[in-house]
């Protein structure tokens, strides 16, 4: 079953999911589509996010993908159920895997969530957690500064620490009760080190990117969709925005840990606009 | 979908999976069957394990379970594929979830596995790991003393430490390369503290019990089988062996962390013997 896995995101954040898919499922071929031109999705009304997401899904279906990963929290919150019902290939989002990993991790039954304003406002993580475990204690915090900070390439250093410390201050008073924090945005794994430093090592950080890659593996097994051939190194990346900017950000996200970036094709996506 | 989840094991080790299922999926009703009379399965020939496992599965099917968890490494190695092919309800084993969690965890691409002699001899973990990631380095060690030690109730203290230290000595030389160790036996989570003390905190221990419970959650979601009602507290435990002994061991495994053990029914299982 050597068809590719399709990954969509509103922009570049979903590349952290791609990074984990490459690491945890090195035999799989990936096609990534980032809707950078219309990013961010967070502040957009639901019908717009639904419509944009379907355009990306249609693009991927033409590439004959065997499975779709919605590597965007906002798109997951608004479209996961509909996509799962209407497509005849498996679809996974980024919210449920993170929620499940947090339930496994927490011994104190108290989980924190950080995300964009849109994700926190949607209550999607709280609903996913409490649907499975009604009595779980949850504290959610919107971190509007984190995505712009990451997109400016500020991932470490004093400036990053000051922003993270100020943003996360409301969570610090729960440090004794809360033992697990979900990084509920695919940008946040890029500043995981700073977040861990600010909160201390007694709090387990759950990366929705890592967890989504892991559940992708489970789903491939259940549906017997694993690529049983050789390791795959030719992935395809598409952007709806400027090629140069996307290429630069991609290189900076993957840093030196993806050796084969030169074999990645980055093309302009032509998607059917409403 | 309020039908129960069936869990089978050769004896009492699978109760650590039950413990995690209760913690991670508190709304689900469980029916556990331990084949304590014919335990251990490890040294038995394959055809016998297959036959015994089918007897247990038939018992659970009569209880109208919606899913089956094979909470036994030996039974998983010999029967998982056949059960998945022949049953029209989902079946999960304990090997693949642990392998997947280890792939996610390891940054050095080097994983250790400890298990019973049977499990290590079967190479099931190595195959599961390398099927997904061909180049992963693996070091496997059989720990024949651990199950008898746990069954005697030796879970902490000096004696436990001496046995664990002597048994794991061959792994110590890999401490710099290996960053992740799979506890490839459902008994081992009960001595996780001692194992961590002997190996040091830089090694991440993967509990196949915790990971199997988590994948059970994923599978329930994919198949839309979650219990959407209230939290469930009436579980049923069955044993093919002596009721008194099973009850004692069950109480000792769950300790005080399962408050509702008094509401658990433990009955003698009557299964169709060859």
Same domain, B89 and B218: yes
What would the two tokens of residue B10 be?
A: 């050769």
Same domain, A188 and A133: yes
Nearest to B222 among A101, A213, A219 (CB): A219
pLDDT, tens digit (0-9, with 9 covering 90-100), for A120-150 = 988 999 999 999 999 999 999 999 899 888 8
Chosen for mutation from B222, B224, B231, B232 (greatest number of chain A CBs closer than 10 Å) is B222
Kindly tell me if the per-residue pLDDT of B140 is higher than 60: yes
Same domain, A32 and A168: no
Looking up tokens 């995505």, which residue turns up? A147
Kindly tell me if the per-residue pLDDT of B57 is higher than 70: yes
Q: Where in the sequence is the domain holding B145, given as residue range(s)?
A: 96-208
pLDDT value of residue B260: 43
Q: Do the interacting molecules here have an ipTM over 0.85?
A: no
Partners of residue A131 in chain B, C-beta under 8 Å: 226
Looking up tokens 């024949």, which residue turns up? B144
| Contact (CB<8Å) A219/B218 | yes
- The total number of residues shown for chain A amounts to 274
Q: Is residue A273 part of a domain?
A: no
Q: Is residue A274 part of a domain?
A: no
Same domain, B39 and B122: no
Q: Is residue A216 part of a domain?
A: yes
Looking up tokens 């988590």, which residue turns up? B214
Q: Is residue B48 part of a domain?
A: yes
Per-residue confidence in pLDDT tens, chain A, 274 aa: 789 999 999 888 899 999 999 999 999 999 999 988 888 887 788 899 999 999 999 999 999 999 999 999 889 989 999 999 999 999 999 999 999 999 999 999 999 999 988 889 889 999 999 999 999 999 999 998 998 888 777 889 999 999 999 999 999 999 899 999 999 998 898 899 999 999 999 999 999 999 999 999 999 999 999 998 777 768 888 988 887 777 777 776 776 444 444 445 566 666 644 4
CB A195, CB A168: distance < 8 Å: yes
Q: Is residue B219 part of a domain?
A: yes
Same domain, B111 and B200: yes
pLDDT value of residue A249: 73
pLDDT value of residue A39: 82
pLDDT, tens digit (0-9, with 9 covering 90-100), for B71-91 = 998 899 899 999 999 999 999
Min Cα distance B205 → chain A (Å) is: 13
Residues linked to residue A237 through DSSP beta bridges, in sequence order: A32, A266
What is the separation of C-alpha A271 from the centre of its chain, rounded to a whole number of angstroms? 22
Chain B contacts to A (CB-CB under 8 A): 20, 24-27, 90, 96-97, 100-101, 103-104, 131-135, 210-211, 213-215, 217-219, 221-222, 226, 231
Looking up tokens 């109208």, which residue turns up? B64
| Contact (CB<8Å) B215/A217 | no
Min Cα distance A38 → chain B (Å) is: 31
Same domain, A181 and A170: yes
**Around B189, how many Cα atoms within 13 Å sit in the side-chain half-sphere?**
22
pLDDT value of residue A270: 64
Q: Is residue A43 part of a domain?
A: yes
CB B180, CB B106: distance < 8 Å: yes
Nearest to A221 among B96, B101, B214 (CB): B96
> Which of A212-216, B44-48, B130-134, B233-237 comes out lowest in average pLDDT?
B233-237
Nearest to A104 among B132, B134, B210 (CB): B210
CB A199, CB A181: distance < 8 Å: yes
| Contact (CB<8Å) B90/A226 | no
| Contact (CB<8Å) B90/A222 | yes
Same domain, B219 and B139: no
Partners of residue B19 in chain A, C-beta under 8 Å: none
Chosen for mutation from A218, A219, A220, A223 (greatest number of chain B CBs closer than 10 Å) is A218
Min Cα distance A274 → chain B (Å) is: 31
Looking at A184, A208, A232, the residue that finishes a domain is A208
Chosen for mutation from A215, A227, A229, A232 (greatest number of chain B CBs closer than 10 Å) is A215
Most confident of the ranges A218-227, B31-40, B248-257: A218-227
Same domain, B86 and B215: yes
CA angle at B268 for the pair B262 and B273, rounded to the nearest 5°: 155
CA-based nearest residue to A61, from A101, A97, A33, A103: A33
Percent of chain B with pLDDT over 90: 65
| Contact (CB<8Å) A25/B218 | no
- For residue B269, what pLDDT band results from cuts at 50, 70 and 90? low
Distance of alpha carbon B114 from alpha carbon B164, whole angstroms: 11
Min Cα distance B24 → chain A (Å) is: 6
Check whether B9 is labelled as a binding-site residue.
Answer: yes
What would the two tokens of residue B90 be?
A: 């989902």
pLDDT value of residue B230: 76
> Which residues of A carry out catalysis?
72, 185
Give the CATH number of the domain where residue A228 resides: 3.40.50.1860
Choosing from B39, B143, B185, B272, the catalytic residue is B185
pLDDT value of residue A14: 92
Our count of domains for chain B comes to 2
pLDDT value of residue A181: 98
Q: What is the mean pLDDT of chain B?
A: 88
Instruction: Work out the average pLDDT over B50-79.
Output: 94
Continuous H helices in chain B: 15-24, 46-62, 73-86, 95-105, 117-122, 124-132, 146-151, 157-172, 192-199, 208-222, 243-254
Min Cα distance A133 → chain B (Å) is: 6
pLDDT, tens digit (0-9, with 9 covering 90-100), for B178-201 = 999 999 998 898 899 999 999 999
Same domain, B15 and B84: yes
Same domain, B89 and B101: no
Check whether B41 is labelled as a binding-site residue.
Answer: yes
Q: Is residue A15 part of a domain?
A: yes
**Looking at chain A, which residue has its C-alpha nearest residue B28?**
A132
Q: Is residue B274 part of a domain?
A: no
Looking at B170, B191, B208, the residue that finishes a domain is B208
Instruction: Work out the average pLDDT over B53-61.
Output: 94
Distance of alpha carbon B36 from alpha carbon B82, whole angstroms: 23
Same domain, A226 and A196: no
Q: Report how far apart the first and last C-alpha atoms of chain B are (Å, whole number).
A: 33
| Contact (CB<8Å) B226/A24 | no
Helix (H, G, I), strand (E, B) or coil at A229: coil
| Contact (CB<8Å) B24/A104 | yes
Same domain, A27 and A86: yes
Partners of residue A90 in chain B, C-beta under 8 Å: 222
Which residues, in sequence order, are CB contacts of B88 under 8 Å at separation 6+? Answer: none
Looking at A164, A183, A208, the residue that finishes a domain is A208
| Contact (CB<8Å) A221/B101 | no
| Cα R_g (chain A), whole angstroms | 18
Distance of alpha carbon B117 from alpha carbon B98, whole angstroms: 18
Kindly tell me if the per-residue pLDDT of B219 is higher than 60: yes
* Residue B111 parent element (H or E): strand B110-115
Partners of residue A210 in chain B, C-beta under 8 Å: 104
Count of beta carbons in the 10 Å neighbourhood of residue A151: 16
Long-range contacts of B136-139 (CB under 8 A, 24+ apart): B136/B103, B136/B106, B136/B109, B136/B110, B136/B111, B137/B109, B137/B110, B137/B111, B137/B177, B137/B178, B138/B110, B138/B111, B138/B112, B138/B113, B139/B110, B139/B111, B139/B112, B139/B113, B139/B171, B139/B174, B139/B178
Min Cα distance A268 → chain B (Å) is: 31
| Contact (CB<8Å) B25/A132 | yes
Check whether B122 is labelled as a binding-site residue.
Answer: no
């Amino acid at each position: 079953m050597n068809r590719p896995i399709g990954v969509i995101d509103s922009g570049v954040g979903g590349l952290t999911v791609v990074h984990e898919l490459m690491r945890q499922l090195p035999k799989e071929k990936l096609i990534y589509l980032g809707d950078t031109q219309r990013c961010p999705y967070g502040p957009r009304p639901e019908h717009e996010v639904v419509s944009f997401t379907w355009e990306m899904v249609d693009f991927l279906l033409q590439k004959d993908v065997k499975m779709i990963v919605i590597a965007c929290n906002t798109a997951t919150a608004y479209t996961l159920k509909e996509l799962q019902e209407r497509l005849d290939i498996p679809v996974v989002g980024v919210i449920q895997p993170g929620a499940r990993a947090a339930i496994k991790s927490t011994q104190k039954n108290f989980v924190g969530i950080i995300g964009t304003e849109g994700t926190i406002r949607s209550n999607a993580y709280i609903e996913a957690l409490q649907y499975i475990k009604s009595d779980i204690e949850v504290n959610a915090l919107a971190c509007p500064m984190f995505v712009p900070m990451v997109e400016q390439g500020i991932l470490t250093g004093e400036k990053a620490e000051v922003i993270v410390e100020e943003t996360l201050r409301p969570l610090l008073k729960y440090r004794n009760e809360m033992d697990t924090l979900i990084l509920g945005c695919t940008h946040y794994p890029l500043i995981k080190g700073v977040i861990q430093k600010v909160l201390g090592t007694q709090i387990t950080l759950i990366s929705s990117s890592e967890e989504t890659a892991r559940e992708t593996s489970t789903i491939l097994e259940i549906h017997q969709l694993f690529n049983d051939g050789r390791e795959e190194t030719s992935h395809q990346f598409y952007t709806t925005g400027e090629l140069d900017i996307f290429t630069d950000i991609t290189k900076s996200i993957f840093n030196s840990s993806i050796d084969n970036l030169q074999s990645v094709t980055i093309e302009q996506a032509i998607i059917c606009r409403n």
